[in-house]
Amino acid sequence: MRLRFAGAALAVPLLLAGVHAAAQSPASSTPFGTWDKPDPAMAKSGWKVPRTPWGDPDLRGQWPIDYLAQTPRQRPASFGTRNVLTDEEYKAALQRAEFQLDEYKNEGKANKLGMGHWIERGLPLKQASLMTYPPDGRLPPMTAEGKKRAAASKSSWSEQVFNWVDDFNLYDRCITRGMPGSMLPGNYNSGISVWQSPGYVAIKLEMIHETRIIPLDGRGAPPKPVRTYLGYSTGHWDGDALIIETTNFLPGSSLGNSGGFAKPVPNSEQMTILEKLTPTGPDTIHYEAWIDDPEVLIGPIKYDFPWRRNPEYVQYEYACHEGNEQVRGYIEGRSDNPRLVAKREAAVKARDEGHPVDIHPLKP
């Protein structure tokens, strides 16, 4: 994971240091808000978006977003509506990021593996948050239904007692990161690759190894009862930009924390997502995503950040948790079921008395 990133971290490209088109005035509207105005520098440069053999704009390649992990999804409240770091703030952010990156080298010198090898954080953007709408870059308040769903949600981050698999969320169980989480950087394995064929675009996600299949032939979404965790996507070209509309979601994926609430609000069946991928150079794409879920949030949100191509990036196997046994391990170790509690206590007693220990208290 980190080995693939180390070379790219040696320099701070202008892509990371600058503020992209999100700071410009809007050019076109969506049902939720506006897209950004295309960067005029692209037209002046004379660069033209390459075409596939069948004539579509060519977006194919590896577009890992691990380098975005140092920029927070939500903006710190102290920034208010300002989404650009000052030079001093950016210098401090780079220093903090370099400290994180140095952990990798320091662990190597100490001949050990730790979070320095585990986490892929990259270097920060000069924009203060990946979320650019609402204007303060923070999730809007939840609706009454959103609060109800959030309060009922469970995960390994919030619970202390685990009695069954429904005490874990979808991500804990390695089912999905859902949307929009699958298109946002995580702590590691943030690879995204774009594949194209006549009439289709496929977006392959490294973490949990899901693939979004996006038809471009003008078909509509299936009936509402046909739902998946990644939703159902359809796409079309707007000039050189790819527009993707996604509906038909299964509920339960995290949209993030809202208003200081302890648990993240999960999406509902009503969520819709509108994305725009605009090529801005030979190895850059401007990614925008409007997310609207009126069932759980009082207003829409927007993520807006640059992608950069990295042809050296390779998506390896994503082993979610060792041997797929960690959910069982949580239940064995933290359940308050009297039978399992008694088995744990018996195992501890046997260990203390020097007898063989049964490490699988779930067995009959």
Condensed to tens digits (0 to 9), the pLDDT of residues 221-274 reads 999 999 999 999 999 999 999 999 999 999 999 998 887 778 999 999 999 999
Give the total number of structural domains in the chain.
2
Question: What value, to the nearest 5°, has the Cα angle with vertex 319 and ends 200 and 60?
Answer: 25
Tokens of 265: 């609000």
Least confident range from 21-35, 132-146, 194-208: namely 21-35
The residue among 131, 243, 205, 36 whose CA lies nearest residue 233 is 243
Tell me the β-bridge partners of 195. 202
Cα separation, 149 vs 165, whole angstroms: 18
Tell me: do 314 and 328 sit in the same domain: no
Tokens of 109: 């010198």
The predicted structure's pLDDT at residue 17:
52
What percentage of the chain reaches a pLDDT higher than 90?
62
Cα separation, 68 vs 122, whole angstroms: 6
Tell me: do 245 and 352 sit in the same domain: no
Tell me: do 169 and 99 sit in the same domain: yes
Tell me: do 116 and 79 sit in the same domain: yes
Tell me: do 274 and 328 sit in the same domain: no
What's the domain range around 336? 321-364
Q: Helices 338-352 and 326-334 meet at what angle, rounded to 10?
A: 90
The predicted structure's pLDDT at residue 359:
54
Tell me: do 150 and 266 sit in the same domain: yes
Decide if pLDDT at 21 tops 70: no
Q: Which residue has the tokens 């990371």?
A: 16
pTM: 0.87
pLDDT: which is higher, 318 or 16: 318
Tell me: do 160 and 29 sit in the same domain: yes
Tell me: do 240 and 284 sit in the same domain: yes
The residue among 182, 203, 209 whose CA lies nearest residue 267 is 182
Tell me: do 186 and 330 sit in the same domain: no
Torsion of CA 250, 255, 256, 257, to 10 degrees: -90
Tell me: do 325 and 212 sit in the same domain: no
Run of H or E including 16: helix 14-17
Cα separation, 134 vs 275, whole angstroms: 17
Q: Which residue has the tokens 């996600």?
A: 205
Cα separation, 332 vs 363, whole angstroms: 10
Q: Which residue has the tokens 């979808």?
A: 170
- E-strand stretches of 46-146: 61-62, 131-133
Tell me: do 330 and 292 sit in the same domain: no
What Rg, from alpha-carbon coordinates, does the chain have?
Answer: 23
Run of H or E including 91: helix 87-109
Tell me: do 272 and 361 sit in the same domain: no
